[in-house]
Structure 1
Amino acid sequence: MHHRATPASMADPFAPTLAAVQARINAVDPAAYASTRNALDGAVSNLSPYITHGFVTLAEVMAGVRARHPLEMQHKFVYELGWRAYFRHVWQHRGEAILRSLHAGPLPDAAYAHTLPHDIRHGCTGVPVIDQAVRTLYATGMLHNHARMWLASYVVHVRKVHWRAGADWLYGHLLDGDIASNHLSWQWVAGTASHKPYLFNADNVARFAPAPWHSPGSVIDVSYEALDAIARQAPHRHAVPADGAAPAEPLVTTAPSAGSGVTAPDGAAVAGRDVWLVHPWSLGRLPDGLPADTLVIGIIVADFHAAWRWSERRWHFVETRMAELAATRWFGSAAAIGAALHGARTVRSIDEPHLAPWLSGWAECAAAPLLFPSITPRCDSFSKWWTRAARGLDASVGKLPP
């Protein structure tokens, strides 16, 4: 494990508490969201870190907002909740295939670089919108969705970097990083999970971002026709501007901090006991009716994090909340965790695709409550999925508004 100091900046626009979640749900204004959500200073909910880590489900978000505001089925807020569920739907049906291009983009995969350039990593490209996005990401662990799309489009279509390299990098720094939402969003921008690449220009930035982000005279200050041509051109060498003020890229690591209180898996602690497993994607309230003698154990699986590193900020977010739920918290290999749990009388948990290779082999897993119904067979477009899912939602929760 690594020893890391908790940065002062973690005091805390995203406090890892249920009270913070509820305050954000209470603050959602669906009308303002619908009219301003594309602007970087728009009335977005900022609920995504809490949804990603299971503090709250989509169903609970919907119920909380509906308690204060009428919502029609086609409201933009409901629609955006649908995108998150749709990406999970694709992941459920395609599995690890979402980590590869689902179909060809503007250029063959081999035409793109597989290493993110230094000037992008350090926010010194000379394109203000990109440099501001990188600096905001490093300073906060978050980016507005529009800024994520701009950043991904520039990386893939202007700089000719493969979407997977960009998606992996962004995931490592996001507080709300979700493999399905992040990687499929990059594929959507890249044109490998959509019918055409997502492009943006300086006029679009000027419309939706504050002045420091505006990028007149830059490589993106051209027409959409010119940008489409750029996206389809073979790569060429890019001149990198010098910028002594470039921010350092924050550390991303494979393990919790040394002061987090996690220990190695210990089979003696669970022998003959009923166990409830808490994991980084199930940090909401413990189940109602959990017997008082149930041993609650938090688990962090080293095998997952060997492939998917997290920022210091994200480790702090997860560690803090997990410590509230479980006095005993383990960090170890999947093999060590499985062996330690073998002697327990019963083991239960909440199912989670991030832990799909291991969790169901250790525990009887309940499904997390769904807002939208599970759809089969697989839908390869959001519009097809939405037609079926919205119909199922209408039947399950009654017509909206209540």
Structure 2
Amino acid sequence: MLKGKTIVLGISGGIAAYKAASLCSKLAQAGASVHVIMTESAAKFIQPLTLQTLSRNPVIIDIFDEEDAAVVSHIDLADRADLVLVAPATANMIAKMAHGLADDMLSTTLLATTAPIMVAPAMNVHMYAHPAVQQNMKTLQQRGIQFVSPGTGQLACGYVGEGRLAEPETIFDVVEQHFLTFNSSSQLLQGKRVLVTAGGTLERIDPVRYITNDSSGKMGFALAETASRMGADVVLVSANTHLSLPEGVENVSVETTEEMYQAVLNRYEKMDIVIKAAAVSDYRPVQQYKQKIKKSDDSITITFQKNPDILKKLGELKTHQFLIGFAAETNNVEHYALEKLKNKNCDMLVANDVTLPGAGFGTDTNKVSLYDKMGLIEELPLLSKEQISEQILKITASKLS
């Protein structure tokens, strides 16, 4: 299961660092390529030579110790990692991660990586229960970081309670389960053609003014990236976003609702799954001024006309496509979601209350409910948009099969 996987094992400074030797050995014996990063404090508890011998790779401590001039070590490891595992993770390291600090090799690599991150905390029972530590862990969980819960028992400080590093065998099992889940979903959409819309369309009034919305495109981009990872051939139609494009995804950039309408309809017939995650402008100015409108003492009236309803049109033209719509609501979420699903002839609808903390536009997290024609499918808790994307696409794959 772990053969050929690159795992960066981060060890921070606590007495539980000695257990990392056993964990490193198990990962390496399972076929993983283990690269160890230690903090200076961790090196006071266990010798780097021990981890180097077990991993058969150099152990990195100093961010300025660049042995290979061809690469920047923390970026190289961050890019190569299939998983970054921090075990043990002290309260200090968890705080650095939560607040985006990067003052040593481990924290810098954690900030640079796009790989999944797993954290196994270890600290005094009172430290673990402290509100600041709990809030930091909650922040990281909302970003999609997975935690291996500490055990309860005798701690090195003499206290008995929660805060003891999970046993190496337990952490190893969680790592294996992570890759088992990842591999099982990696081909769920193999051979499928998926179109995703993302971002917020923009309608110009004059060369310097326009109407738009707060959509960042993060949800649509996460869906496109996840669909591609699951084996699909993905087209992303994006409007006015500033996000890095997912690898292996064809991107079609548009600005207005009309442009998105045409881009989607031109490709609709060839698609198996269409996900309308973009927030489109329902109206556009009747007249778009070629010159900037000058300010005057009088009021100004702008007349708007209705834009084409992309989702409704797709529902009308649907033959074999599995059509997924989104509904961003502020009240009566279920009522409006089911009404929209029926009126637009969707196969599934993803609805959320944008007034909830962490669930609005521009956030890295969301809290959504999934509906089909039978009603509520599943109500997801506050999760990262990547995790939500995976759940949406797993359910879609299940329905298609």
Q: TM-score, normalised by structure 1?
A: 0.27
Which of 1 and 2 has greater Rg?
A: 2
As a proportion of its length, which structure holds more strand? 2
As a proportion of its length, which structure holds more helix? 1
Q: TM-score, normalised by structure 2?
A: 0.27
